[in-house]
Structure 1
Amino acid sequence: MKIGLYFGSFNPIHIGHLIIANHVANNTTLDQVWFVISPQNPLKNEISLLNEHHRKHLIDLSIEGEKKLRTSNVEFKLPKPSYTIDTMAYLSEKYAQHAFSIIMGSDSFSNIKRWKNFEMLLKNFEIYIYERPGFKVQVTHGARLTILTAPLLEISSTHIRELIQLKKSIKFLVPDIVKEEIERHQYYS
């Protein structure tokens, strides 16, 4: 089975994340797209990070019933901070019957040289890149890249958290079920 791993904090999951995952699932030869929740991204500040189990639950609610979309808590069990190369090596060994690839935006790809053992990632794994405005993809180090033009929305989790802090509506930015769960548990308040 060909599985694309869509890494992120998903703090919280929003419509933009879901559109990208669904677009990749529908427009590539991948059998499934897994949301890999990063408990701690080494390149991001974790001050406003909701507990990883709560973030996973919000994604699970968002994709319920979708056959090609899954969540993965693999990084919850691995040493922190999470490094993509370590996660890819772990999954490739544990699930040798699957072929894993990485899904990322061209903005993230522009920083790939800052990633731990990025040369091994580029050499050993196919990467699906959805283009973001202002971040042209530079093919490098013989990487196996598939460039996608996915529908993008200018929505950020940071903005959603700010709206919650200001007690403003997040309707239409996140699935209704996620909005209800955030309000019920007062996440990010």
Structure 2
Amino acid sequence: MQEETAEKILTGIMCGSFNPLHMGHIMIANYMYAFENLEEVWLIVTPRCPSDKGDDMADATVRSGILSRFCNPYPRISPCDIEFRLSPPYYTINTIIALKEQYPEREFVLLLGEDNWANFHYWYRSEDIRNEVSILVYPRKDSKTGSDLPENVRKVNAPLIEISSTFIRNAIKEDRDIRSFLPVGEYEYLIENKIYNK
């Protein structure tokens, strides 16, 4: 009798600088596993985004450490530092290929904001990305994704979440108490370690 093939673990991946991690990231990840049947969501912190000029960017190991420290209360949301073991530039297609090689027991789903999907055709080897993984697109304010999406791309009906890392960094520089926008304890950690309020 032929042995049954085990189902792969459906794992969402959110790639970004997480500069810093905030509740918007957590809420989107939470929505994806709660409503889109993902078993886990991995937050993949990049040492440097290919399009990023590096202004106001906290050190990569600091950002990775923040994810490791403040994702703990969320058992289905995990940080992933795979890009720290890859060579730059850190293109998404290279990350996906490395993930599939290292975790053959998982099926990966790329999670993208609607703003990123609007520019997705400019991404390095964007067609190859779509051939490697399916994509779930979460809504952004004023974005107008049509219904004519490729077969393996779907826009989800998630609540609009308009918190940005830029907003968080600027608020900290202005000495504003925004602890409710961050996972518990992260605001104090950022302030005490003078990560953005130098």
The normalised TM-score by structure 2 is 0.89
Q: What's the secondary structure of 1:33's corresponding residue? A: strand
Unaligned runs of 5+ in 2: 1-8
Q: What's the secondary structure of 2:13's corresponding residue? A: strand
May I ask how many residue pairs the two structures share in their alignment? 189
What is the rounded CA distance, in whole Å, between the counterparts of 2:92 and 2:186 in structure 1?
27
Q: What's the secondary structure of 2:145's corresponding residue? A: coil
| Aligned-pair CA distance for 1:61 | 2.7
Q: Deviations over 1:47-102 (max 9, x none)?
A: 21111221122222322132211110001111122100000011111212211110
Runs of 4+ in 1 over 3 A off after TM superposition: 138-143
The 3 A distance-change label for structure 1 pair 111 and 139 is farther
Letter aligned with residue 187 of structure 1: I
The 3 A distance-change label for structure 1 pair 126 and 139 is farther
Residue in structure 2 matched with residue 132 of structure 1 by the alignment: 140
Q: Deviations over 1:91-143 (max 9, x none)?
A: 11121221111001111000101111000111221101111122222467844
Superposition map of 1:23-34 within 5 A: 23-34=31-42
Deviates more, 1:116-125 or 1:150-159: 150-159
Q: Which of the residues 110, 120, 125 maps onto 1:117?
A: 125
What is the rounded CA distance, in whole Å, between the counterparts of 2:89 and 2:148 in structure 1?
26
Q: Which of the residues 101, 112, 130 maps onto 1:104?
A: 112
Residue in structure 2 matched with residue 35 of structure 1 by the alignment: 43
CA contact (8 A) 2:96 2:132 kept: no
| Aligned-pair CA distance for 1:17 | 1.0
Residue in structure 1 matched with residue 76 of structure 2 by the alignment: 68
What is the rounded CA distance, in whole Å, between the counterparts of 1:153 and 1:49 in structure 2?
22
CA contact (8 A) 2:140 2:161 kept: no
CA contact (8 A) 1:19 1:151 kept: no
Q: CA RMSD in A?
A: 1.6
What is the rounded CA distance, in whole Å, between the counterparts of 2:136 and 2:28 in structure 1?
11
Unaligned runs of 5+ in 1: none
Letter aligned with residue 38 of structure 1: T
